[in-house]
Structure 1
């Protein structure tokens, strides 16, 4: 996760991130519960931003980070909006912790396949005005 994030950040002149075991522990707790929704700040005493992604089939770390980046092409600096992409490249963010669970059977009820859920937490959070 860290290498994928830092590769993207380097392309956008954002400082490299440092891995946070505390954020990774929170991300793992959320992934273990197979919650395919945002956690609303309950996973850490630190404030954090969050990206989540899920899919069935082969959905590894690089695919998850690529899915976070899916809205990069539609980003317009003259009319900025917040997104998974902007959280990844947010320049004030300094740490990240991520985790995944490959055994989430309740995320896509119409599928008989297990889903993989990826969760990344960021501190300080991005996507804030100011």
Structure 2
């Protein structure tokens, strides 16, 4: 009986060694395979693929070739430099909601996600037209929140006329219980106004004012807020830009 168990033990030990050896080989193969996968997923210029926003079809996977050729490396440097501002604001929001008791905690977190979606979608559209990326401004976001709450309470659009600050405002009244407008959907809606814009003879027009503010070259920072007044079923979205766009007179 003792011999039997010793044999079983030796066999089990040898199988364990073989399994461990095979796992090491598989791991080495996986590392080698991942290296080749990384190479194959890069474009002709060695640029890795990434997930980007399409104004008409939402997010899609593409490479950054058009991004670098249109916006240049300086815009990427700006984005890498100023993205932490939005990250810090989001982390502060997540920290704050730990102590929120009177409203669902997911509301504040979803608002932070909405803001990031808006910034990323704005910059995708701007780079499509060869315009440098916007950077995040928490100051403008707080101003947008104050104004969005006011509009949702009154149920109509009002323009604040703040000095050197442009705005895009959307307000809808109805049922928003099942779905709130996302940042991607908002920017896609404004981007459709490009159909009304005459690129060969550019002029200000009320039909495409949201689109022209989005891609206004001299605007360098933005802040946005989405506020839903549940009592009045009114959703207000306010996006502020600085310096202001659409500074030309109508039809000029």
TM-score by length of 1: 0.81
1:104 Cα offset (Å): 5.8
Answer whether contact 1:104 1:117 (CA < 8 A) is retained: no
Q: Which moved more, 1:33-42 or 1:68-77?
A: 33-42
- Are 2:235 and 1:116 equivalent residues in the alignment? yes
Find the aligned partners of 2:120 and 2:199 in 1 and give their Cα distance: 25
Find the aligned partners of 1:26 and 1:4 in 2 and give their Cα distance: 21
Find the aligned partners of 2:247 and 2:230 in 1 and give their Cα distance: 31
Q: 1:91 is matched with which residue?
A: 217
- Are 2:144 and 1:12 equivalent residues in the alignment? no
Find the aligned partners of 1:85 and 1:75 in 2 and give their Cα distance: 9
Structure with the bigger percentage of strand: 1
Which of 180, 187, 191 matches 1:65? 187
Q: 1:39 is matched with which residue?
A: 159
Find the aligned partners of 1:104 and 1:88 in 2 and give their Cα distance: 29
Deviations 1:21-54 (A, max 9, x none): 1111110001111254242324xxx521100112
Query: SS at the partner of 1:72?
Result: helix
Distance of aligned partners of 1:61 and 1:104 in 2 relative to their CA distance in 1, 3 Å threshold: farther
Find the aligned partners of 2:216 and 2:170 in 1 and give their Cα distance: 19
Structure with the bigger percentage of helix: 2
Root-mean-square deviation (Å):
2.0
Distance of aligned partners of 1:38 and 1:50 in 2 relative to their CA distance in 1, 3 Å threshold: farther
Query: SS at the partner of 1:28?
Result: helix
Q: Which runs of 5+ in 1 are unaligned?
A: 107-113
Question: How many residue pairs align between the two structures?
Answer: 120
Find the aligned partners of 1:125 and 1:15 in 2 and give their Cα distance: 15
Considering only CA atoms, is the larger Rg found in Structure 1 or Structure 2? 2
Answer whether contact 1:53 1:67 (CA < 8 A) is retained: no
